[in-house]
C-alpha cells in the first residue's frame, strides 16, 4: 500500500511553490478559466462560473465575454475576496506560474504567505480563475472590486460604472470611502482591501500549491 501511495506523495511534492509577486485588479470580464477545454477537471466539474449582466450564473460556458463585442458573460460578484480570520483570507486570482500554462493553473489553488508590507505574515488561499498577457513570472493578480480595470473594462457594461470610474486603470481606488458608491454586491470585497488587506500595495509572497478549500470551489464551480 505504501508503494502504491508513493506516486501520490511525489506528485504533491512536485506541485508549484516558490517566491512571487502580487498585483490587484477587477475588470468584470469573463475569466479565462471560464471557457471549456482549458484544463482537465474533476468528473462532473465545470469551468469557472460566469454571470450575466444581472449577476445571474450562466450555464453555457462558451458564452462570449462581455469584454468582447457582443459578449454577455462577466465576473460573478461572489468571486470577491473575504476574511476567514484575522490572519487568513480566501479569494481568486489571475495567475502566471513559471513552468506551467493555463492547463496547469486553471482552477488550481495556492496558499500565499505575504512577506512584505502591512500584511506580512498573513496568508491567503486563492483559486486561479484567470490569466493575463501582462503578468510576469510567479505572478498573482488578486481579484478585488476596485482594484483597477487593467487592460480590459467589463464593469461599465455589467454595473454601469463610468469608463473613468473606480479609480486608476492600474491600482484602482485609493480610499475605503470610495467603496461606499459601489454596487451592493461588490462592497464587501471592496472594503476587504482596506480592512483585512490593510490597503497593501502589491506585497511580495511565498506560495505553494494546495488542495482547494470547498468554500472557494463552491463559488467558482470549478474543481480540478
* Positions marked active-site: 27, 141
The total of other beta-carbon atoms located within 10 Å of residue 171's CB is 16
User: Whole-angstrom Cα distance, residue 60 to residue 213?
Assistant: 25
**Angle (nearest 5°) at CA 185 between 190 and 60:** 115
Residues 6+ apart with CB under 8 A from 31: 48, 50, 75, 79, 92, 94, 129, 130
Amino acid at each position: 500500500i505504501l508503494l502504491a501511495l508513493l506516486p501520490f506523495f511525489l506528485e504533491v511534492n512536485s506541485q508549484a511553490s516558490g517566491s512571487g509577486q502580487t498585483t490587484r485588479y477587477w475588470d468584470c470580464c469573463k475569466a479565462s478559466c471560464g471557457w471549456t477545454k482549458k484544463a482537465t477537471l474533476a468528473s462532473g466539474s465545470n469551468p469557472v462560473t460566469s454571470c450575466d449582466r444581472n449577476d445571474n450564473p450562466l450555464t453555457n460556458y462558451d458564452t462570449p465575454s462581455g469584454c468582447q463585442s457582443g459578449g454577455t458573460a462577466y465576473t460573478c460578484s461572489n468571486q470577491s475576496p473575504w476574511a476567514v480570520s484575522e490572519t487568513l483570507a480566501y479569494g481568486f486570482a489571475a495567475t502566471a506560474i513559471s513552468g506551467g500554462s493555463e492547463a496547469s493553473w486553471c482552477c488550481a489553488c495556492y496558499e500565499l504567505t505575504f512577506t512584505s508590507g502591512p500584511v506580512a505574515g498573513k496568508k491567503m488561499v486563492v483559486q486561479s480563475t484567470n490569466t493575463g498577457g501582462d503578468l510576469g513570472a510567479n505572478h498573482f493578480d488578486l481579484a478585488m472590486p476596485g482594484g483597477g480595470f487593467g487592460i480590459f473594462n467589463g464593469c461599465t457594461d455589467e454595473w454601469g460604472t463610468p469608463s473613468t470610474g473606480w479609480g486608476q486603470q492600474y491600482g484602482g481606488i485609493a480610499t475605503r470611502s470610495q467603496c461606499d458608491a459601489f454596487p451592493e454586491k461588490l462592497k464587501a470585497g471592496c472594503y476587504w482591501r482596506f480592512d483585512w488587506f490593510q490597503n497593501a500595495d502589491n506585497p511580495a509572497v511565498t506560495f505553494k500549491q494546495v488542495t482547494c478549500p470547498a468554500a472557494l470551489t463552491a463559488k467558482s464551480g470549478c474543481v480540478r
